[in-house]
Each structure stands twice: as structure tokens, then as C-alpha cells.
């Protein structure tokens, strides 16, 4: 006769659901160096996250309410920055591996709820002008509101095999569309696109396109590489530059656009759960997308707190799928006119 087995929460067995919080680990008992090496961030940053997310993580309806917000945040940061649910990390803060997994889920959703608070384009004129000035100072490209590109993050194969997540390298991934400013602060992040979609298709279907075509500033543009089509609000390189002005334009474009590649490297270096070195994200596409977005929110918060040192190239195992660009000019005559005017005015 089969005996039913109940799956028990080790923490509830030890402490009981009615316990207010579990004070397993105290930040003040360890050094900043330890916190940075183990959880990726210093003490004051972690305190800020506790203040930001504490009320959400203390909701009585959550199963892990007996685990303090501080402990939940440490568990999540440990996963984001190491890429694995290591037993020693759970032991360090006094929770089981199953509880660590729930903590990551709770903190991830709390950060995703606040994504629009930390990832957005500036709206007031002074900040927009400052954004353009900062970009212009890099390589002399005027009118730039942000640089845009896509990056792939490896995920496990969905339970119901879906070829839409298989990229050009034959790996399952999400294709993430992001925009950043001259410091690497993310202004837009759409992390849910299936890996089989080429960059140009992702942009065509993205909320970002709708924003720029219906809402955002008409006196500036994004910079995108040759995987995108030229638009009135998106300046791309010339495929075959011929004149000195066209070469200068392409050089300024490349030097400015490189910021997004550096930003991708920084995010992957800081959040090793995304870099492929520990394997793929072992979640559904939806949950994986939320983890990526949560890391994007943390990236921006870290820049707000001055943790903005550019990282060296990450050592991730997931290579970027090489796009086979169709070398064609945009059929948008107005976009072509704007780029030609930019060439004549600023690069001739």
C-alpha cells in the first residue's frame, strides 16, 4: 500500500508559522567585504532594499512570512549574484534550500512590481537635455536619447517543447530588448521575447516602438545597430559608407552605441545567474523573464547608489546568436531624410 508523503517546510517545523520573524543572520555581525563577496552588495545597499521591499515581503499571505525581509533579500541576492542555490549559502543565513527558492520568488516579484519606478525615460525637459548632452560628450553624436540592443539569456527548455525559444545557436533563450543612457542606466527593458525572434522583429513588436511612435520626444532618437531598420526615431549605421562625413557618422555611432554592450557585460558580471556559467535559468520563460527584469532593476538601483564601476567582460557560456542582417535601406523616406540632414549638419 502506497503511503502518502507530505512535503514539509523545514523552517515551519523548526519555528512554526506563527513566529513573527526568523532572525537567522544579522548584517551588523559581518563585514562589508563579506557581504560584497557573498551577496554582491555592501551593507547600506542591502539596508536600502530592506526599506524598499520590507512591507511587500512581510505580507501575511505569503508562505514565508516567518522569514524576515532581510533574510529573504540576502537569499535572493545570493542567487542573483552566484547563479546557484548553494547549500552553504542557505546554511549561512539559516534557511533550507526550498525556502531559499521561495525567497528568490518573493523578492523577484517585489522588484518586478517596482520596475517602472526605476526603469523609465526621463520626462522633464532639463533631464532630457542633460541626457543628450552626456551622449554628445562621448563621440559628438547629437540628439541621442538612448542606445538600444538585444541580448540573449539562456533558459531551460519549456516543459511543453516550444521551438519559439530556440535561438540561432540551437539554444533555448529569451531575447531581451534594452535601452540605456550614457552611464549604462537602463531606460527600458523588455525581457520576455522568445529567443527565436530576430532583433528587428522584437523591436517591431515591442512596447518601446509604440512609445516612440506615439508618445516620446520628436526632437531626438535612439541609436541601434544594423540588426534594426532605420526609423525617424532610430538612427542606424550606414551599411556602405562612402564619403568622409559618412565614415565620421559611423564612427561616432559605433563609439556611442558601444555603451549598451558594456552595460550588458556589467549586468552579466554582476548577476551571474544570467551569464550562463552556472547553466541556464531553471525556470519557465515567464519566471525567467521576471528574474532578468529584477536584475535590471537592481542594476539601476546600484548605479543610483554609486556602484557604477564598469566591469570587465563576463565569462558566460552563452554566446550571442549571430544575426544575418539583410543589407537593405529603410523604405521610410522621412527617416532617410533625417539621417542625411544629420550627416550634413554635424559630420560634413
- What confidence tens digit (pLDDT) does each residue in 249-269 have? 999 999 999 999 999 999 999
If asked whether residues 165 and 90 sit together in one domain, one would say no
If asked whether residues 36 and 47 sit together in one domain, one would say yes
If asked whether residues 98 and 139 sit together in one domain, one would say no
Q: For residue 128, give the C-alpha cell.
A: 532630457
If asked whether residues 201 and 99 sit together in one domain, one would say no
Number of domains in the chain: 2
Give the range of the structural domain holding residue 134, as residue numbers without chain letter.
119-284+330-347
Residue 5 lies in a domain: no
If asked whether residues 109 and 222 sit together in one domain, one would say no
User: CA nearest 57: which of 22, 96, 109?
Assistant: 109
pLDDT one-digit tens code per residue, 176-204? 999 999 999 999 999 999 999 999 999 99
Residue 19 lies in a domain: no
Rounded to a whole number of angstroms, the distance between the first and last alpha carbons of the chain is 85
Residue 304 lies in a domain: no
If asked whether residues 247 and 225 sit together in one domain, one would say yes
In the chain the beta strands, taken as DSSP E runs, fall at 144-154, 173-180, 186-194, 221-223, 234-235
Pairing mode, if any, of strands 173-180 and 234-235? unpaired
Q: Tell me the helix, strand and coil percentages in the chain, rounded to 5.
A: 50, 10, 40
**CA 344 – CA 348 distance, rounded (Å):** 5
Give all strands of the β-sheet with 173-180 in edge-to-edge order: 186-194, 173-180, 144-154, 221-223, 234-235
Classify residue 346 as exposed, middle or buried by CB count within 10 Å of its CB (0-12, 13-18, 19+). middle
Q: Which helix (H) or strand (E) holds 235?
A: strand 234-235
**CA 153 – CA 173 distance, rounded (Å):** 5
Residue 3 lies in a domain: no
pLDDT band at 7 (very low <50, low <70, confident <90, very high): very low
Q: For residue 303, give the C-alpha cell.
A: 548605479
Residue 318 lies in a domain: no
Q: For residue 75, give the C-alpha cell.
A: 537569499
Residue 302 lies in a domain: no
pTM of the model: 0.87
If asked whether residues 135 and 82 sit together in one domain, one would say no
Boundary (domain end) residue, out of 91, 117, 143: 117
If asked whether residues 219 and 258 sit together in one domain, one would say yes
Residue 299 lies in a domain: no
pLDDT one-digit tens code per residue, 94-144? 777 788 889 999 999 999 999 999 999 998 999 999 999 999 999 999 999
pLDDT band at 26 (very low <50, low <70, confident <90, very high): confident
If asked whether residues 88 and 148 sit together in one domain, one would say no
In 42-199 the beta strands, taken as DSSP E runs, fall at 144-154, 173-180, 186-194
Polymer length in residues for the chain: 348
If asked whether residues 206 and 151 sit together in one domain, one would say yes
- Mean residue pLDDT of the chain comes to 84
Q: Is the dihedral of CA 151, 328, 325, 136 positive or negative?
A: negative
Q: Which helix (H) or strand (E) holds 221?
A: strand 221-223
User: CA nearest 265: which of 306, 202, 309?
Assistant: 309
If asked whether residues 134 and 276 sit together in one domain, one would say yes
Residue 8 lies in a domain: no
- Interior CA angle at 72 toward 71 and 73, to 5°? 90
If asked whether residues 74 and 202 sit together in one domain, one would say no
Q: Is the dihedral of CA 86, 91, 97, 103 positive or negative?
A: negative
Residue 86: pLDDT above 80?
no
**CA 274 – CA 251 distance, rounded (Å):** 30
Amino acid at each position: 500500500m502506497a503511503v502518502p508523503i507530505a512535503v514539509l517546510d523545514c523552517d515551519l517545523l523548526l519555528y512554526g508559522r506563527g513566529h513573527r520573524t526568523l532572525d537567522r543572520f544579522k548584517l551588523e555581525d559581518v563585514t562589508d567585504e563579506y557581504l560584497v563577496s557573498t551577496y554582491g552588495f555592501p551593507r547600506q545597499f542591502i539596508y536600502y532594499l530592506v526599506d524598499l521591499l520590507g512591507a511587500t515581503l512581510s505580507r501575511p499571505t505569503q508562505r514565508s512570512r516567518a522569514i524576515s525581509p532581510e533574510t529573504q533579500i540576502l537569499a535572493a541576492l545570493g542567487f542573483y549574484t552566484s547563479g546557484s542555490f548553494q547549500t552553504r549559502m542557505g546554511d549561512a543565513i539559516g534557511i533550507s534550500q526550498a525556502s531559499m527558492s521561495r525567497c528568490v520568488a518573493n523578492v523577484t516579484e517585489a522588484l518586478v512590481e517596482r520596475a517602472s519606478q526605476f526603469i523609465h525615460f526621463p520626462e522633464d525637459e532639463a533631464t532630457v537635455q542633460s541626457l543628450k548632452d552626456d551622449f554628445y560628450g562621448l563621440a559628438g553624436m547629437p540628439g541621442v536619447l538612448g542606445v538600444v540592443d538585444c541580448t540573449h539569456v539562456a533558459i531551460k527548455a519549456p516543459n511543453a517543447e516550444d521551438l519559439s525559444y530556440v535561438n540561432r545557436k540551437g539554444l533555448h533563450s529569451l531575447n531581451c530588448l534594452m535601452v540605456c543612457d550614457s552611464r549604462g542606466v537602463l531606460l527600458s527593458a523588455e525581457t520576455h521575447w522568445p529567443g527565436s525572434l530576430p532583433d528587428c522583429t522584437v523591436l517591431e513588436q515591442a512596447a518601446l516602438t509604440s512609445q516612440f511612435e506615439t508618445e516620446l520626444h520628436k526632437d531626438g532618437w535612439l541609436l541601434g545597430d544594423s540588426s534594426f531598420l532605420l526609423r525617424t526615431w532610430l538612427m542606424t549605421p550606414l551599411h556602405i559608407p562612402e564619403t568622409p562625413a559618412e565614415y565620421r557618422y559611423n564612427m561616432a555611432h559605433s563609439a556611442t552605441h558601444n555603451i549598451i554592450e558594456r552595460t550588458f557585460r556589467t549586468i552579466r558580471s554582476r548577476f551571474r545567474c544570467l551569464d550562463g556559467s552556472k547553466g541556464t535559468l531553471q525556470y519557465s520563460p515567464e519566471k525567467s523573464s521576471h528574474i532578468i527584469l529584477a536584475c535590471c532593476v537592481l542594476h539601476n538601483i546600484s548605479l543610483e547608489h554609486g556602484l557604477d564601476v564598469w566591469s570587465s567582460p563576463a565569462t558566460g557560456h552563452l554566446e550571442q546568436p549571430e544575426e544575418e542582417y539583410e543589407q537593405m535601406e529603410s523604405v521610410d523616406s522621412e527617416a532617410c531624410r533625417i539621417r542625411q540632414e544629420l550627416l550634413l549638419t554635424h559630420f560634413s
